[in-house]
Protein backbone atom coordinates (compact mmCIF):
# COMPACT_ATOMS: atom_id res chain seq x y z
CA UNK A 1 0.00 0.00 0.00
CA UNK A 2 1.47 3.36 -0.96
CA UNK A 3 1.45 5.90 1.85
CA UNK A 4 -1.37 8.38 1.77
CA UNK A 5 -0.63 11.92 0.78
CA UNK A 6 -0.41 14.35 3.59
CA UNK A 7 -2.35 17.51 4.37
CA UNK A 8 -1.83 20.21 6.95
CA UNK A 9 -3.95 23.19 7.78
CA UNK A 10 -3.82 25.83 10.48
CA UNK A 11 -6.86 26.98 12.40
CA UNK A 12 -6.98 30.48 13.86
CA UNK A 13 -8.13 30.27 17.48
CA UNK A 14 -10.84 32.86 17.09
CA UNK A 15 -13.11 30.98 19.50
CA UNK A 16 -16.33 29.13 18.83
CA UNK A 17 -16.84 28.42 15.13
CA UNK A 18 -19.71 29.66 12.96
CA UNK A 19 -21.59 28.01 10.11
CA UNK A 20 -19.37 29.81 7.58
CA UNK A 21 -16.34 28.00 9.07
CA UNK A 22 -18.26 24.75 9.20
CA UNK A 23 -19.63 24.66 5.66
CA UNK A 24 -16.71 26.60 4.17
CA UNK A 25 -13.83 24.62 5.63
CA UNK A 26 -14.43 21.89 8.21
CA UNK A 27 -16.96 19.93 6.19
CA UNK A 28 -14.41 19.84 3.38
CA UNK A 29 -11.63 18.71 5.72
CA UNK A 30 -13.77 15.91 7.06
CA UNK A 31 -14.18 14.68 3.48
CA UNK A 32 -10.42 14.94 2.87
CA UNK A 33 -9.72 12.76 5.90
CA UNK A 34 -10.84 9.71 3.92
CA UNK A 35 -8.09 10.18 1.33
CA UNK A 36 -5.27 12.00 3.09
CA UNK A 37 -3.28 11.73 6.26
CA UNK A 38 -4.37 14.93 7.98
CA UNK A 39 -2.69 17.28 10.43
CA UNK A 40 -4.67 20.17 11.87
CA UNK A 41 -3.15 22.66 14.23
CA UNK A 42 -4.67 25.44 16.28
CA UNK A 43 -2.23 28.28 15.61
CA UNK A 44 -1.92 29.95 18.99
CA UNK A 45 1.60 31.20 18.17
CA UNK A 46 0.20 33.07 15.20
CA UNK A 47 -2.54 34.54 17.37
CA UNK A 48 0.00 36.32 19.59
CA UNK A 49 1.49 38.31 16.69
CA UNK A 50 -1.16 41.01 17.23
CA UNK A 51 -2.46 42.70 20.39
CA UNK A 52 -4.34 40.20 22.55
CA UNK A 53 -5.46 39.36 26.04
CA UNK A 54 -3.87 36.18 27.51
CA UNK A 55 -7.00 35.09 29.40
CA UNK A 56 -9.16 35.56 26.36
CA UNK A 57 -6.69 33.69 24.16
CA UNK A 58 -6.82 30.72 26.50
CA UNK A 59 -10.59 30.59 26.29
CA UNK A 60 -10.59 30.97 22.53
CA UNK A 61 -8.11 28.17 22.01
CA UNK A 62 -10.16 25.87 24.23
CA UNK A 63 -13.39 26.79 22.42
CA UNK A 64 -11.71 26.21 19.08
CA UNK A 65 -10.52 22.79 20.23
CA UNK A 66 -13.95 21.68 21.48
CA UNK A 67 -15.81 23.02 18.46
CA UNK A 68 -13.44 21.55 15.90
CA UNK A 69 -13.35 18.19 17.62
CA UNK A 70 -17.14 18.16 17.85
CA UNK A 71 -17.41 19.11 14.18
CA UNK A 72 -15.44 16.06 13.11
CA UNK A 73 -11.71 16.61 13.66
CA UNK A 74 -11.60 13.85 16.23
CA UNK A 75 -8.35 12.14 17.25
CA UNK A 76 -9.31 8.89 15.51
CA UNK A 77 -9.41 10.46 12.07
CA UNK A 78 -6.68 13.08 12.13
CA UNK A 79 -3.84 14.53 14.14
CA UNK A 80 -5.23 17.58 15.93
CA UNK A 81 -2.88 19.58 18.13
CA UNK A 82 -2.04 22.99 19.49
CA UNK A 83 0.83 24.61 17.63
CA UNK A 84 2.74 25.71 20.75
CA UNK A 85 2.74 22.10 22.00
CA UNK A 86 5.07 21.18 19.16
CA UNK A 87 8.10 23.44 19.69
CA UNK A 88 9.78 22.03 16.57
CA UNK A 89 7.65 24.47 14.55
CA UNK A 90 9.39 27.48 16.09
CA UNK A 91 12.79 25.88 15.75
CA UNK A 92 12.30 25.22 12.04
CA UNK A 93 10.92 28.74 11.78
CA UNK A 94 14.30 30.08 12.88
CA UNK A 95 16.11 28.00 10.27
CA UNK A 96 13.73 29.21 7.57
CA UNK A 97 14.19 32.80 8.78
CA UNK A 98 17.70 32.49 7.46
CA UNK A 99 16.66 31.64 3.90
CA UNK A 100 13.73 34.07 3.59
CA UNK A 101 14.39 37.40 1.87
CA UNK A 102 13.13 40.34 3.88
CA UNK A 103 11.63 41.97 0.81
CA UNK A 104 9.18 39.08 0.36
CA UNK A 105 7.80 39.56 3.88
CA UNK A 106 7.21 43.26 3.41
CA UNK A 107 5.12 42.49 0.33
CA UNK A 108 2.57 40.26 2.10
CA UNK A 109 -0.94 41.67 1.95
CA UNK A 110 -1.98 40.21 5.28
CA UNK A 111 1.06 41.85 6.91
CA UNK A 112 0.24 45.21 5.35
CA UNK A 113 -3.39 44.99 6.46
CA UNK A 114 -2.59 43.90 9.98
CA UNK A 115 0.15 46.47 10.46
CA UNK A 116 -2.40 49.13 9.51
CA UNK A 117 -4.66 47.85 12.29
CA UNK A 118 -1.85 47.49 14.82
CA UNK A 119 -0.17 50.86 14.18
CA UNK A 120 1.85 51.30 17.40
CA UNK A 121 2.44 47.60 17.85
CA UNK A 122 3.90 46.20 14.63
CA UNK A 123 6.24 43.48 15.90
CA UNK A 124 8.88 41.34 14.25
CA UNK A 125 6.52 38.44 15.01
CA UNK A 126 3.87 39.93 12.75
CA UNK A 127 6.40 40.35 9.95
CA UNK A 128 7.67 36.78 10.40
CA UNK A 129 4.19 35.28 10.63
CA UNK A 130 4.40 33.75 7.13
CA UNK A 131 7.71 32.03 7.95
CA UNK A 132 6.12 30.30 10.92
CA UNK A 133 3.26 29.30 8.64
CA UNK A 134 5.80 27.86 6.17
CA UNK A 135 7.38 25.94 9.06
CA UNK A 136 3.93 24.57 10.07
CA UNK A 137 3.57 23.12 6.61
CA UNK A 138 7.08 22.08 5.66
CA UNK A 139 7.81 20.34 8.95
CA UNK A 140 5.27 17.64 7.96
CA UNK A 141 6.42 17.73 4.34
CA UNK A 142 2.77 18.27 3.53
CA UNK A 143 1.73 17.57 -0.06
CA UNK A 144 -1.19 19.95 0.05
CA UNK A 145 -2.73 22.66 2.19
CA UNK A 146 -6.51 23.21 2.17
CA UNK A 147 -7.08 26.92 2.76
CA UNK A 148 -9.22 29.81 1.67
CA UNK A 149 -8.44 32.14 -1.22
CA UNK A 150 -6.93 34.68 1.19
CA UNK A 151 -4.03 32.35 2.00
CA UNK A 152 -2.82 31.93 -1.59
CA UNK A 153 -0.03 34.45 -1.14
CA UNK A 154 1.27 32.80 2.02
CA UNK A 155 1.29 29.46 0.26
CA UNK A 156 3.20 30.90 -2.67
CA UNK A 157 5.80 32.19 -0.21
CA UNK A 158 5.95 28.78 1.47
CA UNK A 159 6.86 27.22 -1.87
CA UNK A 160 9.44 29.94 -2.47
CA UNK A 161 11.01 29.24 0.93
CA UNK A 162 11.08 25.51 0.17
CA UNK A 163 12.76 26.20 -3.19
CA UNK A 164 15.36 28.44 -1.60
CA UNK A 165 16.15 25.91 1.07
CA UNK A 166 16.36 23.14 -1.50
CA UNK A 167 18.52 25.24 -3.82
CA UNK A 168 20.97 26.13 -1.10
CA UNK A 169 21.14 22.91 0.93
CA UNK A 170 19.87 20.13 -1.32
CA UNK A 171 16.38 18.96 -2.27
CA UNK A 172 14.57 18.32 0.99
CA UNK A 173 11.14 19.93 1.22
CA UNK A 174 8.36 19.08 -1.24
CA UNK A 175 6.55 22.15 -2.57
CA UNK A 176 3.02 21.94 -1.13
CA UNK A 177 0.03 22.48 -3.42
CA UNK A 178 -2.79 24.81 -2.50
CA UNK A 179 -6.15 23.05 -2.21
CA UNK A 180 -8.76 25.75 -2.48
CA UNK A 181 -12.00 24.26 -1.21
CA UNK A 182 -15.51 24.72 -2.46
CA UNK A 183 -15.14 28.06 -0.71
CA UNK A 184 -18.70 28.61 0.46
CA UNK A 185 -18.09 32.26 1.23
CA UNK A 186 -21.23 33.10 3.11
CA UNK A 187 -22.56 36.41 4.32
CA UNK A 188 -23.58 37.16 7.88
CA UNK A 189 -27.23 37.41 8.96
CA UNK A 190 -27.05 41.12 8.17
CA UNK A 191 -26.77 40.04 4.52
CA UNK A 192 -24.11 42.70 4.05
CA UNK A 193 -20.67 41.61 5.28
CA UNK A 194 -18.87 38.27 5.27
CA UNK A 195 -19.91 36.15 8.25
CA UNK A 196 -17.55 36.91 11.11
CA UNK A 197 -17.71 36.55 14.85
CA UNK A 198 -16.13 39.91 15.47
CA UNK A 199 -18.76 41.64 13.30
CA UNK A 200 -21.52 40.08 15.39
CA UNK A 201 -23.33 38.73 12.33
CA UNK A 202 -22.47 35.05 12.78
CA UNK A 203 -24.52 31.94 13.51
CA UNK A 204 -22.53 29.73 15.87
CA UNK A 205 -22.30 26.02 15.14
CA UNK A 206 -22.97 25.04 18.74
CA UNK A 207 -25.32 27.87 19.59
CA UNK A 208 -28.66 27.11 21.19
CA UNK A 209 -31.32 26.27 18.51
CA UNK A 210 -33.72 28.88 19.92
CA UNK A 211 -31.02 31.53 19.86
CA UNK A 212 -30.32 30.67 16.22
CA UNK A 213 -34.01 31.01 15.43
CA UNK A 214 -34.09 34.44 17.11
CA UNK A 215 -31.36 35.52 14.69
CA UNK A 216 -33.03 34.05 11.62
CA UNK A 217 -36.57 35.27 12.27
CA UNK A 218 -35.91 39.01 11.77
CA UNK A 219 -33.17 38.53 9.15
CA UNK A 220 -33.43 40.43 5.88
CA UNK A 221 -34.83 38.59 2.84
CA UNK A 222 -35.53 39.73 -0.73
CA UNK A 223 -36.73 43.32 -0.47
CA UNK A 224 -39.34 42.75 -3.17
CA UNK A 225 -41.31 40.64 -0.68
CA UNK A 226 -42.76 43.49 1.35
CA UNK A 227 -46.04 41.66 1.84
CA UNK A 228 -46.85 37.98 1.97
CA UNK A 229 -48.37 37.95 -1.55
CA UNK A 230 -45.49 39.83 -3.23
CA UNK A 231 -43.43 37.45 -5.34
CA UNK A 232 -39.70 37.32 -4.62
CA UNK A 233 -36.45 36.28 -6.20
CA UNK A 234 -34.46 33.68 -4.25
CA UNK A 235 -31.21 34.68 -5.94
CA UNK A 236 -31.47 38.07 -4.24
CA UNK A 237 -32.08 36.51 -0.83
CA UNK A 238 -29.41 35.75 1.74
CA UNK A 239 -31.60 33.13 3.41
CA UNK A 240 -31.84 31.28 0.12
CA UNK A 241 -28.03 31.23 -0.08
CA UNK A 242 -28.09 29.57 3.35
CA UNK A 243 -30.49 26.94 2.05
CA UNK A 244 -27.74 25.89 -0.35
CA UNK A 245 -25.72 24.74 2.65
CA UNK A 246 -28.21 22.50 4.37
CA UNK A 247 -31.35 22.00 2.25
CA UNK A 248 -31.49 19.15 -0.29
CA UNK A 249 -31.73 20.20 -3.92
CA UNK A 250 -35.32 19.04 -4.53
CA UNK A 251 -36.65 20.89 -1.50
CA UNK A 252 -34.69 23.95 -2.52
CA UNK A 253 -36.22 23.97 -5.99
CA UNK A 254 -39.65 23.82 -4.39
CA UNK A 255 -38.80 26.77 -2.16
CA UNK A 256 -37.56 28.79 -5.14
CA UNK A 257 -40.85 28.14 -6.95
CA UNK A 258 -42.85 29.03 -3.85
CA UNK A 259 -40.92 32.25 -3.42
CA UNK A 260 -41.31 33.34 -7.05
CA UNK A 261 -45.01 32.48 -6.96
CA UNK A 262 -45.58 33.92 -3.46
CA UNK A 263 -47.02 30.63 -2.24
CA UNK A 264 -44.54 30.40 0.62
CA UNK A 265 -43.89 33.09 3.21
CA UNK A 266 -40.45 34.10 4.40
CA UNK A 267 -41.10 32.90 7.94
CA UNK A 268 -42.05 29.43 6.71
CA UNK A 269 -39.03 29.44 4.45
CA UNK A 270 -36.79 30.31 7.39
CA UNK A 271 -38.42 27.60 9.50
CA UNK A 272 -37.50 25.03 6.85
CA UNK A 273 -33.92 26.24 6.84
CA UNK A 274 -33.77 26.19 10.62
CA UNK A 275 -35.01 22.62 10.69
CA UNK A 276 -32.53 21.45 8.07
CA UNK A 277 -29.66 23.31 9.68
CA UNK A 278 -30.43 21.78 13.05
CA UNK A 279 -30.38 18.31 11.54
CA UNK A 280 -26.70 19.00 10.77
CA UNK A 281 -25.84 20.94 13.93
CA UNK A 282 -27.72 18.96 16.62
CA UNK A 283 -25.20 16.10 16.68
CA UNK A 284 -22.29 18.56 16.64
CA UNK A 285 -23.72 20.47 19.59
CA UNK A 286 -24.34 17.24 21.49
CA UNK A 287 -20.78 16.06 20.91
CA UNK A 288 -19.55 19.49 22.04
CA UNK A 289 -21.49 19.15 25.28
CA UNK A 290 -20.10 15.70 25.90
CA UNK A 291 -16.54 16.95 25.34
CA UNK A 292 -17.05 19.91 27.65
CA UNK A 293 -18.13 17.50 30.39
CA UNK A 294 -14.85 15.60 30.08
CA UNK A 295 -12.00 18.11 29.78
CA UNK A 296 -9.44 15.53 30.89
CA UNK A 297 -10.24 13.36 27.87
CA UNK A 298 -9.86 16.40 25.61
CA UNK A 299 -6.49 17.22 27.15
CA UNK A 300 -5.42 13.63 26.67
CA UNK A 301 -6.45 13.75 23.01
CA UNK A 302 -4.40 16.94 22.59
CA UNK A 303 -1.41 15.32 24.28
CA UNK A 304 -1.61 12.38 21.91
CA UNK A 305 -2.04 14.69 18.93
CA UNK A 306 1.05 16.69 19.89
CA UNK A 307 3.05 13.52 20.48
CA UNK A 308 2.14 12.10 17.09
CA UNK A 309 2.94 15.42 15.42
CA UNK A 310 6.25 15.72 17.25
CA UNK A 311 7.47 12.36 16.03
CA UNK A 312 7.19 13.53 12.43
CA UNK A 313 8.32 17.09 13.15
CA UNK A 314 11.44 16.01 15.05
CA UNK A 315 12.62 13.86 12.19
CA UNK A 316 12.16 16.58 9.56
CA UNK A 317 13.85 19.14 11.77
CA UNK A 318 16.87 16.92 12.43
CA UNK A 319 17.36 16.35 8.71
CA UNK A 320 17.13 20.08 7.98
CA UNK A 321 19.68 20.93 10.68
CA UNK A 322 22.11 18.37 9.35
CA UNK A 323 21.83 19.76 5.82
CA UNK A 324 22.45 23.26 7.13
CA UNK A 325 25.68 22.22 8.76
CA UNK A 326 24.57 22.30 12.37
CA UNK A 327 26.38 19.71 14.45
Residue among 139 and 246 whose Cβ is closer to ligand TRP: 139
Phi and psi, residue 7, nearest 5°: -125, 145
Residue nearest to ligand TRP (CB): 10
Give which of ligand TRP, ligand SF4, none residue 89 binds (C-beta under 5 to 8 Å, depending on kind).
Answer: none
User: Which ranges constitute the DSSP H helices of the chain?
Assistant: 19-21, 27-32, 44-47, 54-70, 88-97, 102-107, 109-118, 124-138, 152-169, 209-216, 238-246, 249-260, 266-293, 295-323
CA–CA distance, 226 with 70 (Å, rounded to integer): 40
In contact, 207 and 18? CB cutoff 8 Å: no
CA–CA distance, 90 with 92 (Å, rounded to integer): 5
Using the CB atoms, write b or e for 125-141: b if 16+ within 10 Å.
Answer: ebbbbbbbbbbbbbbbb
Task: Measure Cα distances from 228 to 135, 235, 240, 264, 267 in Å.
Answer: 56, 18, 17, 8, 10
The yes or no reply on residue 247 touching ligand TRP (CB under 6 A) is no
Among 99, 189, 246, 269, binds ligand SF4 (CB under 6 A): 269
The yes or no reply on residue 128 touching ligand TRP (CB under 6 A) is no
Among 42, 82, 105, 266, binds ligand SF4 (CB under 6 A): 266
The yes or no reply on residue 136 touching ligand TRP (CB under 6 A) is yes
Give which of ligand TRP, ligand SF4, none residue 151 binds (C-beta under 5 to 8 Å, depending on kind).
Answer: ligand TRP
Among the options 197, 215, 271, 321, which is catalytic?
A: 197
Among 9, 21, 201, 247, binds ligand TRP (CB under 6 A): 9
In contact, 255 and 273? CB cutoff 8 Å: no
User: Which among 2-10, 61-69, 178-186, 307-315 is the span making contact with ligand TRP, rule CB under 6 A?
Assistant: 2-10
Shortest Cβ 213–ligand SF4 spacing (Å): 14
Among 222, 287, 305, 310, binds ligand SF4 (CB under 6 A): 222
Shortest Cβ 43–ligand TRP spacing (Å): 4
Please tell me the count of residues contacting ligand TRP according to CB under 6 A. Answer: 13
5 annotated active-site: no
Give which of ligand SF4, ligand TRP, none residue 75 binds (C-beta under 5 to 8 Å, depending on kind).
Answer: none
Please list, in sequence order, all residues whose beta carbon lies within 8 angstroms of the beta carbon of residue 211, skipping any fewer than 6 positions away: none
Give which of ligand TRP, ligand SF4, none residue 237 binds (C-beta under 5 to 8 Å, depending on kind).
Answer: ligand SF4
CA–CA distance, 161 with 108 (Å, rounded to integer): 14
Please tell me the count of residues contacting ligand SF4 according to CB under 6 A. Answer: 13
Residue among 73 and 255 whose Cβ is closer to ligand SF4: 255
CA–CA distance, 71 with 167 (Å, rounded to integer): 41
CA–CA distance, 78 with 81 (Å, rounded to integer): 10
Which residues are at the interface with ligand SF4 (CB under 6 A)?
Answer: 221-222, 225, 232, 234, 237, 239-240, 259, 264, 266, 269-270
Q: Which residues are catalytic?
A: 114, 194, 197
Amino acid sequence: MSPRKRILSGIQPSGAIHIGNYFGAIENWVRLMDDYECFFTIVDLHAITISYDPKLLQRRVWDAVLDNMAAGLGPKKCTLFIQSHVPEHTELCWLLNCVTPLGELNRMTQFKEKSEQERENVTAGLLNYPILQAADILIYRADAVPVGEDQAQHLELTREIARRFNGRFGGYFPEPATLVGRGARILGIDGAAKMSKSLGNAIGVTEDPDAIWEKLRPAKTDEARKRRHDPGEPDRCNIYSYHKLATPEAERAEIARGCRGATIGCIDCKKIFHRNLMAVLDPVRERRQALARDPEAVREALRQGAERARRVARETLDGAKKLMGLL
